[in-house]
Amino acid sequence: MLVTLEGIDGAGKTTVLSALSDAYPEAVVTREPSESWYGEAVERSIAAPDSDSLAELFLFLADHADHLGRVVQPALADGALVIADRYVDSRIAYQGATLGDEVKRPMEYIRGIHEPFTRMPDLTLYLDIDPETAAERAGATNKMEHVDFLADVRANYERLIDAEPDRFVRIDATQPPEEVIAVAEETLARVVDET
Ligand code: TMP
C-alpha cells in the first residue's frame, strides 16, 4: 500500500512522518526529492533563484522516475507499506504554479506526463494550513516558501482534492502537533486495517 504525505512548505510533514515511522517501523519511509543524485540535482535547482521552470519540472520528473523504479515499486512488490513524504501531487501543485503560462493547462500537462508510468497513491494525507502561518514556519529559506506562491500551490492542492476526494484525507495542520499526529495515525490505522 502506498501512502503519501502532502502539503505546502511549513505544514509540518516532517513531524508527522517521524511519528508514522515510529508507529510503523516495518514501513518503507521515503521522500521526494529523493536521496539520489537526481534528488541532489533537484535541490540545486530549487536553491537557484533563476532556474528555468520547465527544466526544473523535468529534473523533478527524472527524480520521480528513478525513485519509483528503485524504491517504491520494489517495496510495493514485496508487500511493504510505503510512506512517501511528497510524491506526484507535489509536482502537480507546485510545478503547476511555477510553470504559469509557460505551458498550456500546466496541471493537466504534469498529470499527463506522469500517467503512463507512475503508480498513484492509495491514500494521501493532506496537511492543510494557511499560507501565512506556513511561510512563517518554513522561514523563507528557498524561493518556494513565500506567501503568494504558497497560496497558489494551496489552491492547486484544492483542485486535486476536488478531483479525487476519496484518495485525500484533509488534516487541519494548524492544530497542535500531537493532534495532527493523532489524526494522521488514526486515519492510517483505519485504512491499513481495511486492506
Ligand atoms: P521538502 O520541503 O518537502 O523537502 O521539499 C522541497 C521543496 O521542493 C519544497 O519547497 C517543495 C518542492 N517540491 C516541488 O516543487 N515539486 C515536487 O515535485 C517536490 C517533490 C517538491
Indicate whether residue 42 lines ligand 1 (CB < 6 A). Answer: no
Which protein residue has the closest C-alpha to ligand 1 atom 6?
Answer: 33
Mutate to test the pocket of ligand 1, among 29, 30, 61, 90 (most ligand atoms within 8 A of CB): 90
Indicate whether residue 63 lines ligand 1 (CB < 6 A). Answer: no
For residues 152 and 168, give the distance between their C-alpha atoms in angstroms, rounded to a whole number.
Answer: 19
Pick the CATH number of 2-194 from 3.40.50.300, 3.40.50.20, 3.40.50.1220, 3.40.1500.10: 3.40.50.300
On the question of pLDDT at 181 being above 80, the answer is: yes
All structural domains of the chain with their residue ranges: 2-194
Q: What is the pLDDT of residues 51-92, one digit of tens each?
A: 999 999 999 999 999 999 999 999 999 999 999 999 999 999
Indicate whether residue 183 lines ligand 1 (CB < 6 A). Answer: no
For residues 176 and 180, give the distance between their C-alpha atoms in angstroms, rounded to a whole number.
Answer: 6
% residues pLDDT > 90 (the chain): 90
For residues 150 and 160, give the distance between their C-alpha atoms in angstroms, rounded to a whole number.
Answer: 15
On the question of pLDDT at 168 being above 80, the answer is: yes
For residue 170, what are the β-bridge partners? 126
Contacts of 185 (CB under 8 A, 6+ apart): 19, 20, 23
pLDDT band at 157 (very low <50, low <70, confident <90, very high): very high
pLDDT band at 100 (very low <50, low <70, confident <90, very high): confident
Q: What is the pLDDT of residue 142?
A: 75
Nearest to 1, CA basis, from 56, 104, 78, 96:
78
The CB-side HSE value for 67 (13 A sphere, CA atoms) comes to 29
On the question of pLDDT at 173 being above 80, the answer is: yes
Residue 155 host element (H or E): helix 147-163
Point out the ligand 1 atom lying closest to the alpha carbon of residue 145: 10
The CB-side HSE value for 113 (13 A sphere, CA atoms) comes to 18
Q: Distance of alpha carbon 66 from its chain centroid, rounded?
A: 16
**Torsion from C-alpha of 84, 160, 103, 51, nearest 10 degrees:** -40
Which amino acid is present at 190? R
Q: What is the pTM of this model?
A: 0.96
What is the overall mean pLDDT for the chain?
96
Q: How far is the CA of 5 from the centre of ligand 1 (A)?
A: 12
On the question of pLDDT at 25 being above 80, the answer is: yes
